[in-house]
Amino acid sequence: MKHIKLQLIAAALTIGSMCVSCGSRDSNAEPAPTLDTREFVNLTDVVPDAILEIRYFGTYNFVGTRIDGYEQPTALLTRRAADSLRAVSDDVMALGYRLKVYDAYRPQTAVNHFVRWAADVSDTAMKAYFYPDLDKSVLFEQEYIYERSGHTRGSTIDLTLFDMATEKELDMGGTFDWFGPESHPDFCGDPLTGGFSLANASISPAGRSITPQQFANRMTLRQAMLRHGFKPLDSEWWHFTLADEPFPDTYFDFPVKELE
């Protein structure tokens, strides 16, 4: 999702305000985002079977509006990540699934939009859909919102599986961009063994759980991604980054639109 980290001092958290990148940039600061698109591709040019539902181009997302920087409902990735994702697609197609993509490359402009939204604790229009168990004021403190995102490096993707037999998304027991422990890959199971267990279901603040089949569906996606060089995130079952990403220290800021 999102995962766009903002380091806030305690006083800023207390009063609900913040200052991102205040003052001049010093010699130890991170470099400014770049607009270079040369190593990026349109995802569907490489993975034509992928289904795109780019949530941040629309209004059904945790902010509730189209996100800055999303000019077209398309997905971009580095060429290396897209090639690896094609191998994932071939694997899951053999199982009767297609990849459904919610987000891929994300410009820094979009990350900044998330940060501004999170700072406005009065804007809770989408709370019921994405963070009903949380007060919005804790999103920075609990690291749901960051000022930098792996997506901005171009080799991270948010996705699920689409079942071609039922013509529906595979039931993962939770929605994309849900802010809570229910989104963790180890919720109700052990992703290392693939074993289901309700032992840690108690961490759900509302007492939620998922079924063995829903956990197994999450593992089907996870195992396919790991087989082809992607690494998971420990807080989001849908989020994966190419382990051998070509730009581990570079952040990009060109808009999301079809590359020519």
- How much is the mean pLDDT over the chain? 89
* pLDDT one-digit tens code per residue, 160-201: 999 999 999 999 999 999 999 999 999 999 999 999 998 877
- 201, amino acid identity: A
3-state secondary structure of 195: strand
pLDDT at 226 over 50: yes
pLDDT at 231 over 90: yes
- 103, amino acid identity: D
The proportion of the chain whose per-residue pLDDT surpasses 90, expressed as a percent, equals 83
For 12, 45, 92, 161, 170, the CA distances from 96, given in Å and listed in that order, are 49, 21, 6, 10, 11
* pLDDT one-digit tens code per residue, 32-49: 889 999 999 999 999 999
Of the listed ranges 87-91, 146-150, 213-217, the least confidently predicted one is 146-150
User: What is the Cα–Cα distance from 152 to 248, expressed in whole angstroms?
Assistant: 10
Q: Are 151 and 105 in contact (CB under 8 A)?
A: yes
pLDDT at 31: 72
Binned at pLDDT 50, 70 and 90, residue 29 comes out as low
Q: Which domains does the chain have, with CATH numbers?
A: 10-16+35-179+238-242 (3.30.1380.10)
The residue annotated as part of the active site, out of 53, 236, 245, 258, is: 236
Asked if 236 is an active-site residue, the reply is: yes
pLDDT at 93 over 60: yes
Binned at pLDDT 50, 70 and 90, residue 30 comes out as low
pLDDT at 200: 75
Q: In sequence order, what are the residues at sequence separation of 6 or more whose Cβ sits closer than 8 angstroms to the Cβ of residue 200?
A: 186, 187, 188
* pLDDT one-digit tens code per residue, 104-136: 999 999 999 999 999 999 999 999 999 999 999
- 130, amino acid identity: F
pLDDT at 247: 97
Burial of 120 (0-12, 13-18, 19+ CB in 10 A): exposed
Q: What is the DSSP letter of 64?
A: S
